[in-house]
Amino acid sequence: MKPRGGDTFPRLARKDRAIHKETHLQKHNAGLFGLFKPLKKTPQDVRWAAWTDLRYGSYTRNTLDISIPQIATAAAGGASCVILFIHGGIWMYGDKKNRPTFLDAFRDRFVVASMNHRYIDENTRLVDLVDDVSAAIACTREFCSQQKLDAKKLIIMGHSSGGHLSMLYAYKYHKTAPIPVAFCISMAGPTDLSDLAFVYNFKKLRWLKLFYQVSEKATGYHPVEGDITEEGYSETGRRLLSDISPITFVAGDTPPTIIVHDVADRIVPYANSSALNSVFNVFGVDHCFIALYSGVGHYLGAKLIKSGPTRGAARYDKTVEARVVKAMNDYIEKYCG
Residue 261 pLDDT more than 70? yes
Percent of the chain residues topping a pLDDT of 90: 67
- Contact at 8 Å (CB) between 298 and 262? yes
Q: 195 to each of 30, 35, 224, how far by Cα in Å?
A: 43, 44, 15
Give the lowest-confidence range in 117-121, 198-202, 245-249. 198-202
Residue in 77, 66, 83 with CA at minimum distance from that of residue 148: 77
Percent of the chain residues topping a pLDDT of 70: 82
Band of pLDDT at residue 220, cut at 50, 70 and 90: confident
> What was the pLDDT predicted at 7?
52
Band of pLDDT at residue 221, cut at 50, 70 and 90: confident
Report which listed range, 35-39, 48-52, 76-80, 179-183, is most confident: 179-183
- Contact at 8 Å (CB) between 46 and 23? yes
Residue 44 pLDDT more than 50? no
Taking the CA atoms of 85, 88, 91 and 97 in sequence, report the sign of the dihedral they define.
negative
CA neighbours closer than 13 Å in the CB half-sphere of residue 177:
31
**Average pLDDT for 129-156:** 95
* Adjacent-strand bridge partners of 111: 82
Report which listed range, 29-43, 138-152, 195-209, is most confident: 138-152
Per-domain residue ranges for the chain? 23-192+251-335, 194-243
Q: Determine the Cα–Cα distance for residues 82 and 91; give it in Å rounded to an integer.
A: 23
pLDDT digits (tens, 9 = 90+) for 225-244: 667 666 677 888 888 999 99
> What was the pLDDT predicted at 231?
67
Query: What are the respective helix, strand and coil percentages of the chain, to the nearest 5?
Result: 35, 20, 45
SS3 (DSSP) at 288: strand
- Contact at 8 Å (CB) between 141 and 234? no
> What was the pLDDT predicted at 75?
53
Q: Determine the Cα–Cα distance for residues 136 and 139; give it in Å rounded to an integer.
A: 5
Q: Determine the Cα–Cα distance for residues 250 and 168; give it in Å rounded to an integer.
A: 9
Which of residues 16 and 124 earns the better pLDDT score? 124
Band of pLDDT at residue 46, cut at 50, 70 and 90: low
Q: 226 to each of 197, 229, 237, 297, how far by Cα in Å?
A: 17, 7, 12, 31
Residue 13 pLDDT more than 60? no
SS3 (DSSP) at 242: helix
**Average pLDDT for 132-148:** 95
**Arch. (CATH architecture) of 23-192+251-335:** 3-Layer(aba) Sandwich (3.40)
What single string gives the DSSP state of each residue in 135-160?
HHHHHHHHHHHHTT----EEEEEEET
> What was the pLDDT predicted at 229?
66
Alpha helices in 5-160 (DSSP H): 71-75, 126-146
Q: Determine the Cα–Cα distance for residues 315 and 238; give it in Å rounded to an integer.
A: 36
**Average pLDDT for 289-299:** 97
Residue in 214, 166, 189, 169 with CA at minimum distance from that of residue 300: 189
Which are the contacts of 166, defined by CB distance < 8 A and separation ≥ 6? 86, 133, 156, 157, 158, 184, 185, 186, 189
**Average pLDDT for 21-31:** 36
